[in-house]
Amino acid sequence: MTLIFGAGKIGYAVALVLKKRGKEVVVIDKNMQALNRAESIGCKTYNFDFTKSFNLIGVNISKFKEIIITTSDHKVTIDALKISRELNKEALIIINAPSSEHITVFKKLGADFVVTPDRSMAQIIINQLELSTYWRNKDLLKKLLEKSKSLAIVMHDNPDPDAMSSAYALKTIAESMKINADIYYGGEIGHEGNKMMVELLKWDFKKITEHKKYVLREYDKVALIDMPNLSNTTIFPSEIKPDIIIDHHYTEEDKIGAEFVDIRPKVGATATIMTSYLRDFGIEVNELLATGLMYGILVDTNNFKRNFEKEDTDAVYYLKPRINKELLNIIENPNISSSTLDVLSKAINNKKIYDKYVISNVGYIEKKEALSQSADLLLKLEGITVSLVIGIIEDHAYISARSRDQVIDISRVITKTFSKMGSAGGHMNFAAAKISLGAFSYTEDKEILARIVGDTISEYFFKTLKLNNKGSI
């Protein structure tokens, strides 16, 4: 989370770039008109004097990782810097200085970087912020791991290629530092390609039930990979706090809690992030891990048809000469099970089209992986820009959504609609949710229950879509 002092031209320009990159930004200024511009791009704003310590204590300044002071007034900058550093010893602080003669003064007062007018302010600040955060994360992760002799790596209950390859990358980093590392999950590896991936790449994952989750207490450190919080795992003891979180999915920052957090919503895959860590740690990636990471990136970016950045293409460029192409081809083209084919058939037969949206309720199913395949398939229908597929497994409803609509961030829509009912998240073009059916799960007539659940989910979904189309979310 980034705090910006000043909503003028420079402050607004920096905020705009950060918001486009998926960052959560808070802007403070005494000028209400300037704050209105910042609010219009989705920034949280406060209208008060940021040189008063009681104001900054009120916004909990200690929680911010980056503080950017953009005012050109020398005295105001000094006052804001002194108070900021006093109240937050750890944040990266970047200063906009009126001239280079002030650099030494600001550095002595605790500024990490000082940018002067003879350079492109907004771009330099962004570049410095990214570069500094990048190297700081690597150093922080290394220091955290160095304190450990054992590491438990937890994936979401039904891990996908991105989660599995990323978890194995972190295991590789830990083992290079002589740390014993194990990878856990609590559900099923259901998709045929995912099963093939684990078998061919010879990866060892430990499946445990909720009743045996306390084995995680035995480890010095615990990491969450490809999930920003505990909503998608049933094997994490409530009294344990994760030490490491690495992910690329959008989430509300106040729901994140760990000593080390690296979440990059604009990056296409967590495997991309882990590839960069492997390179920075100087670890040579063998062909099995390279193949897995490549597949993880390809799956989560849909072969570079959605949500990818330069970091993703850089990772692929690095991995390409190291992969086993024959293994990758086998993993990418697995046989389809009859149960998956049945779900795909139900999705097609049960589809309901509303203008450019399609919804399908497939009822009770065995494995949720078929839902994402169904959502992908329905999105290919002519004229359709958003697809949503609903299925039930035991006492939970599962939702998979896809979008190619330029004005609909499907992750925000799904999160807004269903996060209070269960867990929800994703990316701009794809998202998922899991909702407990509670007492309804004991209904004897499963067909009626499935219809009620489907109708209710559809109704809530369309209400949120209307708000989105009005610009209200």
Tens of pLDDT, residues 445-470: 888 889 999 999 999 999 888 765 54
| 433 shares a domain with 403 | yes
| 90 shares a domain with 19 | yes
Asked if residue 253 has pLDDT above 70, the reply is: no
Q: How far apart are CA 186 and CA 189, in angstroms?
A: 10
Q: Which domain holds residue 292?
A: 147-332
* Residue 207: strand pairing partners: 185
| 133 shares a domain with 168 | no
Give CA 276 to chain center in angstroms: 16
| Overall average pLDDT of the 57-82 stretch | 90
- Domain limit, last residue, from 332, 358, 375: 332
97-118: pLDDT as tens digits: 877 777 888 888 989 888 876 5
| 366 shares a domain with 313 | no
- Domain limit, last residue, from 332, 365, 393: 332
Higher pLDDT, 375 or 115: 375
Q: How far apart are CA 454 and CA 446, in angstroms?
A: 12
| Overall average pLDDT of the 306-320 stretch | 87
Structure confidence at residue 228 as a pLDDT band (50, 70, 90): confident
Q: How many residues does the chain have?
A: 473
Q: How far apart are CA 129 and CA 158, in angstroms?
A: 35
| 214 shares a domain with 98 | no
The token duo for 35 is 């704050």
Instruction: Supply the CATH number for residue 71's domain.
Output: 3.40.50.720
Asked if residue 416 has pLDDT above 80, the reply is: yes
Structure confidence at residue 128 as a pLDDT band (50, 70, 90): low
For residues 296-316, one letter each, b for 16 or more C-beta atoms within 10 angstroms of the residue's C-beta and e for the rest, the string is: bbbbbbbeeebbbbebbeebb
Closest alpha carbon to 126 in 289, 279, 10, 256:
10
Where does residue 87 rank: exposed (0-12), middle (13-18), buried (19+ CB within 10 A)? middle
| 218 shares a domain with 361 | no
Sign of CA dihedral 231, 233, 239, 241: negative
pTM equals 0.58
Structure confidence at residue 473 as a pLDDT band (50, 70, 90): very low
Closest alpha carbon to 5 in 42, 45, 62:
45
Q: What is the mean pLDDT of the chain?
A: 86
Instruction: Supply the CATH number for residue 430's domain.
Output: 3.10.310.40
Asked if residue 24 has pLDDT above 70, the reply is: yes
144-190: pLDDT as tens digits: 999 899 999 999 888 999 999 999 999 999 999 999 999 999 888 87
Q: How many distinct structural domains can be found in the chain? A: 3
| 182 shares a domain with 49 | no
pLDDT at residue 278, rounded to an integer: 95
- Select, from the ranges 55-59, 92-96, 331-335, the one with the highest average predicted confidence (pLDDT): 92-96
| 57-66, 99-108, 141-150, 288-297: the lowest-pLDDT one | 99-108
Closest alpha carbon to 93 in 2, 30, 9:
2
219 half-sphere exposure, CB direction, 13 A CA radius: 27
Residues 6+ apart with CB under 8 A from 230: 224, 236, 242
pLDDT at residue 472, rounded to an integer: 46
| 325 shares a domain with 256 | yes
